[in-house]
Amino acid sequence: MSGNNINNRKAITALLEQSKAGLEAEREHERKHFQEWVLRMPLAERKKAGYSWYPLDIQRKGYTIGGRAFVIFTRINNIGEPHKFRSGNTVRLFTQYASANKAEMNGVIHFVEKNKMKVILSSKDHPDWIDKGMCGVDLGFEERSYVEMAKAHNKVAQAEKDRIAELRDILLGFKTEEKHPIASIPNIKLNPSQNQALNHLNSNHLVSIIHGPPGTGKTTTIVEAVRELSKRMNNILLCAPSNTAVDLLTERLAAAGIHVLRIGNISRVSESLLYHTLEAKLGTHPEAKTLKKIRKDAAEARRKAKKYKRNFDRDAYLERKDLFREAAELETWAHQLEQRLIDQIISSAQVICATLVGASDRVLENIKFPMCIIDEAAQALMPSCWIPISRSAKVALVGDPQQLPPTIKSDQARKHRFERTLLEYALQYNHTASLLNIQYRMHEQIMQFSNERFYKGALQADASVKEVRLQIAANQPLQFIDTAGCGFEEQVNPSSKSRFNPDEYLIIREHMLQLIEACKKEGDQADIAIISPYKEQVSYIEDQLKDDEQLRDHQIKVSTIDGYQGQEKDVVYISLVRCNEKGDIGFLKDYRRMNVAMTRAKRMLVLVGDSGTISSDKFYSAFLNHIDQVQAYRSAWEFMQ
């Protein structure tokens, strides 16, 4: 081995050891938090903190398409109180009924709507205590994702002289990929930069990078690339970090007429896409009735066998033994038949969609994919990306490192630079990345500051959106409403420690009422969103809108910035919240988060904040200068009544 190879090997090992240390730190932080703050709490405290609902009113029981039991219930106490439950969370359904057998069962939340929850259980049967009252539900700790990431990380770290090692070394910048000819396959649905990305994916290159800034049509590019690739290969693996992102891809691919299979826990799949899941396709297969009958016969044989008492005679003993043997043989037959059907369904799919962790599903464990495409790669932890990559011959990373990074909760993990993504490494070292440079979402003026600050002015607004405005007199696409001098001090919720600014919302409300009235007069319609970096501000605004007779019927979307990535509205208000004498802006310093916020609006973007507080920061000082240059400044005094 040459000295250069030895040095590369040491550098790769050091980098991957750092990533592994970050993964372990994050896992330990999450586990410790759960054990200390959830498991050790008395039930009354868990309820108060939002980690438990108890008691429950069981409203409905049933079975999913895949034959798994589900329960729908409401909470009886703490109605309307904040809680930690979210769709996709692992939970523990339990009972305090004294004589209950196996008093708990795990499951996954399918949906949470105010005080109502649907949980799909990790069983084909409901617990026998479910109708006896005294039931509750606890938030659970999601261990599986960490286990799968660790397994994939170790596999990649140990790889030598194979395709996994080759992909790893190219992505991390320790090996330069040989250049291959790129044939031009013009697609009239795509612009030149999108076509360039498609052609690179369709070439013999092992690694492709698509840098897709906001509104540049990366999902459209992915769909067309899959359509082209599927002409010569099946079983393309398409992944993203979240179920929401995977569902969007599944929906778009299916609408394009591509045969798509959605892999994953059906409790985490949108109901509108259940038809594309493995469970649904199994359930509608011509041999599904045969499979169901075999399993029913096996269950009946077991039921008969269990009827025999312990003090049975020899004939009864032999009969019982025969019944158990019959049940086992039937189960084996059912398993073999089911596996054959699963193999048929998977092999016929042009593209398989799953989350990054979902790519480790046991039904995919023996498949070597010809290509994997990872969307939203800028939000994906490096070890999670290794899961699909370690099972693929080629890889494409799609995303934008100038938008939200992965969520890291452990300070120790940050010390190991665990937030740095594989896409960032690949973009740093791979000079063949394709930049999608035409955006189709927003007015040119809304785009301008982010374009200059994050993309070196490389983006262009397509003619279809370049001058798109609201059809009203006051149709300035970009506005900053300054609350300086108004005395709108930020406040802190003592329980959540999150910040909010009630007065700032009043300015947004007045501006919004004027805008809605102006649109009504001109016959224009505009969908509206209000976003903020602070959860407490979002909660406050949501509560205000519920009781607002003038606004509650307008279906205004309210969200944190993190929750709104990938979405868009005609009009977007950003509530910055921070207003203090120290000029402390907290995590407004995460400029990538603000890039996301500033690129959600199509026809009008309105930011509301205190210039005195934010101007000490270089980023916001540059933004305020930009506001002056485009004459987009307004004072909050205009909207105070």
For the chain, the maximum distance between any two Cα atoms, rounded to a whole number of angstroms, is 96
Q: What percent of the chain has pLDDT over 90?
A: 61
- Express each pLDDT in 471-496 by its tens digit: 999 999 999 999 999 999 999 998 78
**How big is the CA angle at 546 (ends 600 and 71), to the nearest 5 degrees?**
90
Q: What average pLDDT does this structure show over 575-595?
A: 94
What confidence score (pLDDT) does residue 367 get? 92
Residues 6+ apart with CB under 8 A from 433: 209, 210, 211, 426, 427
User: Average of pLDDT values for 542-560?
Assistant: 91
SS (HEC) of 456-494? CCCCEECCCCCCCCCCCCCCCCEEEEECCCCCCCCEECC
Q: Is residue 286 predicted with pLDDT exceeding 90?
A: no
Q: What is the pLDDT of residue 532?
A: 97
User: Which of 76-85, 351-360, 508-517 shows the lowest per-residue confidence on average (mean pLDDT)?
Assistant: 76-85
69, pLDDT greater than 60: yes
Q: How far apart are CA 259 and CA 250, in angstroms?
A: 10
pTM of the model: 0.85
> Cα-flanking dihedrals φ and ψ of residue 288, to 5°?
-65, -35
Q: How many CA atoms lie within 13 A of 176 on its CB side?
A: 4
Residue with tokens 């660790």: 150
The residue type at 538:
V
Q: Which of 640, 641, 587 is nearest to 481 (CA)?
A: 640
Task: Tell me how crowded residue 357 is: count the other CB atoms within 10 A of its CB.
Answer: 23
The pLDDT score that the predictor gives to residue 65 is 62
* Tens-digit pLDDT profile for residues 231-257: 989 999 999 999 889 999 999 999 999
Burial of 577 (0-12, 13-18, 19+ CB in 10 A): buried
CA 421 to chain centre: 16
In this predicted structure, what is the pLDDT of residue 123? 80
Q: What is the pLDDT of residue 100?
A: 75
Instruction: Tell me the average pLDDT across 36-50.
Output: 82
- Residue 34: phi and psi, rounded to 5, are -65, -45
Write b or e for each residue in 460-493: b if 16 or more Cβ atoms lie within 10 A of its Cβ, otherwise e: bbbeebeebebebeebbbbbbbbbbebebebbee
Of 63-77, 110-124, 352-366, 402-416, the range with the lowest mean pLDDT is 63-77
Residue predicted with more confidence, 101 or 179? 179
Q: Locate the DSSP E strands across 375-443.
A: 395-399, 434-435, 438-439
Q: How many other CB atoms are found less than 10 A from the CB of residue 16?
A: 20
CA atoms of 172 and 455, how far apart (whole Å) = 23
Residues in the chain: 641
Coil vs helix vs strand at 21: helix
Question: What is the radius of gyration, based on Cα positions, of the chain?
Answer: 28
CA 57 to CA 130: how far, in whole Å?
A: 10
Provide the pLDDT confidence category of residue 309 given band limits of 50, 70 and 90: low
**pLDDT given for residue 312 in this prediction:** 62
For residue 32, the 8-state DSSP code is: H
Whether 2 has a pLDDT exceeding 50, the answer reads no
pLDDT at 3 over 60: no
Averaged over 600-626, what is the pLDDT? 97
pLDDT for 122-165, tens place per residue? 887 788 888 888 899 998 887 889 999 999 999 999 999 999 99
> Could you report the per-residue pLDDT of 336-366, keeping only the tens digit for each?
888 888 888 999 999 999 999 999 988 898 8
Q: Residue 627 and residue 457: Cα distance in Å, rounded?
A: 17
Q: Which burial class, exposed, middle or buried, applies to 456 when counting CB atoms under 10 A from its CB (0-12, 13-18, 19+)?
A: exposed
245: amino acid identity, one letter: A
Q: What is the mean pLDDT of residues 31-49?
A: 83
pLDDT at 67 over 70: no
Mean pLDDT of 73-89: 83
Q: Report which secondary-structure segment, H or E, holds 282.
A: helix 278-283
Q: How many CA atoms lie within 13 A of 518 on its CB side?
A: 13
pLDDT band, very low/low/confident/very high, at 310 (cuts 50, 70, 90): low
Residue 4 has a pLDDT of 58
What mean pLDDT is predicted for residues 168-173? 93
Report how far residue 620's alpha carbon sits from residue 583's, in angstroms, rounded to the nearest whole number. Answer: 12
